Amino acid sequence: MTQEQFEDGVAYSEDNFQNDNAPHLKVDKALIRERFDLNGKKVLDFGCGMGGMSVWYATNWDCQVYALDIDRHHIKIAEHLKEKHKVNNVVFSQRNILVDHLKEDEKFDYIFLNDVAEHIAYPILQEIFIQLEKGLAKNGKIFVTYPPWKSPYASHVTHAVKIPWCQYLPAKTLDNLIKKNNMPIVGEEESDLLQAYHGLNHLTHKKLIKVVEKANLKPVFRKSHCILNRLPGLGNTNINFFPFDFLVTKEFMLLESKNQSVGTNPANAMASQGK
């Protein structure tokens, strides 16, 4: 990681932390503020990246945040962000939980996966959810956010090639476009845009449901954020059916263990909105 990449990474993570109107996190943050009270809770930010959201949780609630990522460059930037802003209630760790499993005493009230699931191959993703399910405390919940594959921005390279839905271009054509506009990114696992694109698993709601069900998890809430939600009267409507599913920019899903009975805590009220 060059010094320039480090500085760019710090700027990016700091914006994720401080800017509630960051385009790719605006809806996420609003929904989390509306739906969750993290005060007094033990939180796991899985696949925390460069730590922007981890520090956001830690500074907006009186909670203890544990943040894990497999990439040491990401963790280096996250640690810098923590030290710069003197945030004491977050702990960052480079860790692969498929090798170094969660321990018996590592139980979390909330586990967040922000824009992580779409980057992990399906067999591995299923194993990760199996481990995360074991890490849930009583009444614990897992909150997953991701851009579905039909999204205009799901390719993660739209900002570079300037073409929405570019994932539907012929493979060779898109590869050439990405190579033409390629740039390095912070990370050991994925160090440029081409690697980032080819690392995507083409995640959809149906595919994710199959993965989590095999991990002994069940959905209790789903929100599909669609471009049409900007229209008057449609702000809270789930518009995720054909052909409007191509306008869904972000999916949100809340999960709990199948072994957990539905109680009366506030998070379970989300189930009334269906899956």
Answer yes or no: do 109 and 222 share one domain: yes
Average pLDDT, integer, range 7-26: 91
Backbone angles phi, psi at 194, to 5 degrees: -65, -45
The domain tally of the chain equals 2
**112 part of a folded domain:** yes
In a domain, 271, yes or no: no
pLDDT at 261: 59
Task: List all residues 6 or more positions away from 226 whose beta carbon is below 8 Å from its beta carbon.
Answer: 237, 238, 239, 240, 244, 247, 248, 249
**Which pLDDT score, from 0 to 100, does residue 271 have?**
36
Answer whether residue 272 is part of any domain: no
The percent of residues in the chain predicted with pLDDT above 90, rounded, is 85
Mean pLDDT calculated for residue range 209-232:
95
Largest CA distance in the chain: 54
Could you tell me if residue 275 is inside a domain?
no
d(CA 10, CA 8): 5
Rounded to an integer, the average pLDDT of 181-196 is 90
pLDDT band at 273 (very low <50, low <70, confident <90, very high): very low
- Answer whether residue 125 is part of any domain: yes
| Banded model confidence at residue 22, pLDDT cuts 50, 70, 90 | confident
Identify whether residues 107 and 193 lie together within a single domain.
no
Cβ neighbours of 164 (radius 10 Å): 14
137 lies in the same domain as 79:
yes
- Segment 225-253 shows an average pLDDT of 94
User: Is 0.85 surpassed by the pTM of this model?
Assistant: yes
Residues 65, 84, single domain; the answer is yes
Report yes or no on 170 lying in a domain.
yes
Q: Which ranges of 42-167 does DSSP label H, i.e. alpha helix? A: 52-60, 72-84, 122-134, 158-161
Give the Cβ contact number of residue 236 at 10 Å.
8
Q: Residue 199 pLDDT more than 50?
A: yes
**Structural domain includes residue 274:** no
Place 266 in a pLDDT band, splitting at 50, 70 and 90.
very low
Are residues 54 and 181 both part of a single domain?
A: no
Same domain as 190, residue 84:
no
The tens digit of pLDDT for each residue in 103-112 reads 988 999 999 9
The answer to whether residues 142 and 161 belong to one domain is no
**Residues 48 and 98 occupy one common structural domain:** yes
Separation of alpha carbons 235 and 144, rounded Å:
20
Query: Do 61 and 169 lie in a common domain?
Result: no
In terms of average pLDDT, the best of 8-17, 149-158, 229-238 is 149-158
Same domain, 55 and 178: no
Q: 180 and 58, same structural domain? A: no
pLDDT given for residue 204 in this prediction? 97
Q: 99-141, pLDDT tens digit by residue?
A: 999 998 899 999 999 999 999 999 999 999 999 999 999 999 9
Query: Average per-residue pLDDT in the chain?
Result: 92
List the CATH number of the domain containing 219.
3.40.50.150
Instruction: Report whether pLDDT(275) > 90.
Output: no
Nearest by Cα to 102 from 138, 137, 153: 137
Domain of 188?
155-199
